[in-house]
Amino acid sequence: MPIYAYRCESCGHSLDALQKVSDAPLRDCPACGAAALHKQVTAAGFQLKGSGWYATDFKGGSGSSTAGKAAAGAGAAAATTASESAPAASCGASCACH
């Protein structure tokens, strides 16, 4: 079951609630009693790990899968080289990333 974050627009009280996806949203604030609770948008509680996937991974034919991965790897290497050659405008020349 997901955990939903709520905030009362009347008094500013915040709370987390463990609810089923099919449950109705909470409305009544436990702090002030007003019907002003609203769900907040929060970050997902999971991470995707691994090397990723490509559109060619699940298609038939083994030759196109290998070629697609090689082309994607070459594109990523070129993008990395281009970004390392000049510092970003927001970080300046004194940052540790260059």
Q: What is the pLDDT along the chain (98 residues), one digit of tens a residue?
A: 889 999 999 999 999 999 998 999 999 999 999 999 999 988 776 666 667 766 666 655 555 445 445 555 555 554 444 444 555 555 555 566 65
Name the residue among 36, 27, 39 with its Cα closest to residue 9. 36
* Domain-embedded: residue 28: yes
> What is the extent of the structural domain holding 35?
3-39
Q: Is the pTM of this model over 0.75?
A: no
Non-local (6+) Cβ contacts of 62 within 8 A are none
* Domain-embedded: residue 92: no
* Domain-embedded: residue 86: no
Burial class, 6, CB count within 10 angstroms (exposed 0-12 / middle 13-18 / buried 19+): buried
Rounded CA-CA distance 58/33 in Å is 53
Indicate the number of domains in the chain. Answer: 1
Q: Report the length, in residues, of the chain.
A: 98
